[in-house]
Structure 1
Amino acid sequence: MASTPPPVPFALARFRDGDVARLGLVVGDRVRAVDDADLGAGGLNEFLAAPDWQRLSTLAESTAGRWLALSEVTLIAPVEPRQVLQTGANYRQHVIELVAAGLTQDSSRTPDEARAFAAQLMDDRAANGEPYFFVGMPACVVGDDVPLKLPGYSDVHDWELELAVVIGREAFRVDREQAMGHVAGYTIVNDITTRDLVFRKDMKEIGTDWYRAKNAPGFLPTGPFLVPAAFVDAGDVRLRLELNGEVMQDATTRDLLFDIPSLVAGASQTMPLLPGDLLLTGSPAGNGQHWKRFLKDGDVMAGSIDGLGTQIVHVTAEAAE
């Protein structure tokens, strides 16, 4: 099963050319290599700092260059972020279900009362709260070409399909009204999580351990395409994850508690967001923890987001020692 190209005028990708990683311009089911002269910049991140999409649009309409079928090349992660920021608990319905599930353990509330109480909490958070961010490791960013190897130290590795913002112009302490001027485009990320490592068992007061739970090699399958922001209505796109052909996640970004301008603005208050950085926006309901079914050897995940194509992730188990 191959990655599906996005239905947009053009997109960017990276692919292997022998031992070299090349940046490519994708039009339909074809790709051609682009170099610094084509970009008018010294590499992808420099281009994203001041993207000239019209330049690439002109190139996309040209017959010049050597065009290859996407099926002929091996795509890799389409970005080279220096920072990866992740957003937690950002889909309203997902968090309502999680909170309600915990509340119903208290017999003082019926399931409907628990759900109504959780909904009120989320609406208050959206009105008066702030996004919740944590940091991922850029080294975990990989493409469709890298199988997801499940570490042998756990049996509860989970999926989380997410829309990821690709930062363009550097953003530092920007407000919500300015935020979208710093978004270059979007890509797909599957934020893999080892559930039994999320909360510390040796000292519960410390709380969550996102480093161990989310940062094993290959735990951020990314891409395969970087789509310019102008081609995507990111406030209303559908995310859909299939596991071995069965739909597990199916939601839209209309359900975000904090929208993309709010996330970019909020994340930029602490550290500058740099060109090419990834900002994950959260994952909707339907992960393995919900289904009580976790990833195992031989699984195939197909994650699709409107306008961004489809990402295919092949799962393998770490060989026993």
Structure 2
Amino acid sequence: MKRARIAWAGAVHDAVEAGGQLELLTPALKGRHVAFEDAVWLPPLQPLPPQRPRTVLALGLNYADHAKELAFKAPEEPLAFVKGEASLTGHRGFTLRPPGVTFMHYECELAVVIGRTAKHVKKADALDFVGGYTVANDYAIRDVLENWYRPNLRVKNRDTCTPIGPWLVDAVDVHERHGGPMNLALQTTVNGKVTQQGNTRDMIFDVPTLIEYFSSFMTLQPGDLILTGTPDGVVDCQPGDVIVTSIEGIGELTNTITQHP
């Protein structure tokens, strides 16, 4: 099932894809259909209790070809960093290119949404702890990168810098229809031109390995995210560019670059 979270008619609604439209799940409007273009798309994630912030873990250099593209040796253990939830934005939204930046690029990534509490999980059982999958575009501001092995806050943690969505696809659908998350084609287009192609099978550390690794020293909670890295083929994005990051079986995430007036 493809789930979405949208703003429409002055309220926030959960919805599912139905016949090329959004079918609302709000009790008073249950069954009402809304056209894609009439909705404001939000990150397709359930809100968490105020006392528990969402943990967003992201991987750097998790595809060997991307590491080679940047002239770096592939890491021997997951190269991870933490992002704030304020960086997340929805499908068909806008991402700000800061003034004076000379190189800002997209990163098409499979995002794993944790479905139940995970602590000391074994790799063989790891996929049982996944609630669903979505598409993320984890923009990077290369100008302020201090060290590829220590991605800093100004590179990856800016407001609007991580579009995510449009759908949260149930894990069972990906596992049954695609044999799991490790054989999905990825693609990015900029203004309709294909600029990046890859496949999740080329990850250095696959999804089960990442869940085992993180849960070995921290507790993963329902709603937490793991962004799994990007293949090679990143290019600079300018204001006005429309970037579509897509993953087989998950969806197509559209985002437009803007700038300060």
Q: What TM-score, normalized to structure 2?
A: 0.88
**Aligned positions, number:** 249
- SS of 1:307's equivalent? coil
Contact 1:303/1:310 (8 A) holds in 2: yes
Matched, 1:249 2:199: no
2:14 and 2:135 map into 1 onto residues whose CA distance is 17
Q: Which residue of 2 aligns with 1:110?
A: none
- Contact 1:301/1:312, CA 8 A, preserved across alignment: yes
1:263 paired to 2:205: no
User: Which residue pairs with 1:180 in the alignment?
Assistant: 127
SS of corresponding position for 1:93 = helix
Q: Which amino acid aligns with 1:223?
A: G
User: What's the counterpart of residue 275 of structure 1?
Assistant: 222
Structure 1 equivalent of residue 68 of structure 2: 96
Q: CA deviation at 1:19?
A: 3.0
Instruction: Please state whether the residue corresponding to 1:226 is helix, strand or coil.
Output: strand
Give the aligned residue type for 2:168: L
The one of 71, 74, 80 aligned to 2:40: 74
Superposed, which structure 2 residues align to 1:230-249 within 5 Å? 230-232=172-174, 233=178, 234-249=181-196
Structure 2 runs not aligned, ≥5 long: 49-53
In the other structure, the counterpart of 1:15 is 6
Q: Aligned equivalents of 1:32 and 1:168: distance in 2?
A: 23
- Cα distance, 1:28–1:304 mapped onto 2, change above 3 Å: farther
Please name the residue that 1:164 is paired with: 111
AA matched with 1:77: P
Answer whether contact 2:119 2:216 (CA < 8 A) is retained.
yes
1:245/1:12 Cα in 2 relative to 1: closer, same or farther (>3 Å)?
same
Which SS does the other structure have where 1:296 is aligned?
A: coil
Give 1 or 2: higher helix fraction. 1
CA offsets, 1:252-290, max 9 Å, x none?
A: 1111111110011112223211111110010000012xx
Instruction: Summarize deviations over 1:209-259 as a string: whole Å, max 9, x none.
Output: 421111111001000110011222311001100011111110111111111
Q: CA–CA distance in 2 between the matches of 1:134 and 1:17?
A: 34
Rg larger in 1 or in 2?
A: 1
Cα distance in 1 for partners of 2:209, 2:35 equals: 38
Q: Percent identity?
A: 34
Give the corresponding residue for 2:241: 299
Q: Which of the two has greater strand per residue?
A: 2
In 2, distance between residues paired with 1:146 and 1:30? 18
SS in 2 for 1:223: strand
Partner of 2:233: 286
Cα offset, 1:97, TM superposition: 3.7
Counterpart check, 1:219 vs 2:161: yes
Of 45, 51, 56, the match for 1:84: 56
The alpha-carbon deviation at position 145 of structure 1 amounts to 4.2
Partner residue of 1:27 out of 18, 37, 62? 18
- Cα distance in 2 between the residues matched to 1:28 and 1:210: 43
Contact 1:133 / 1:267 at 8 angstroms: preserved in 2? no
Correspondences of 1:185-200 after superposition (within 5 Å): 185-199=132-146
The secondary structure found in structure 1 opposite 2:238 is coil
Q: Which residue of 1 aligns with 2:251?
A: 309
TM-aligned CA distance change 1:207 to 1:177, over 3 Å: closer
Alpha-carbon deviations, 1:107-128, whole Å to 9, x = none?
A: xxxxxxxxxxx6xxx5xx6xxx
Aligned residue for 1:106?
A: none
Q: 1:315 to 1:97 in 2, by over 3 A?
A: closer
* C-alpha RMSD over aligned residues: 2.2
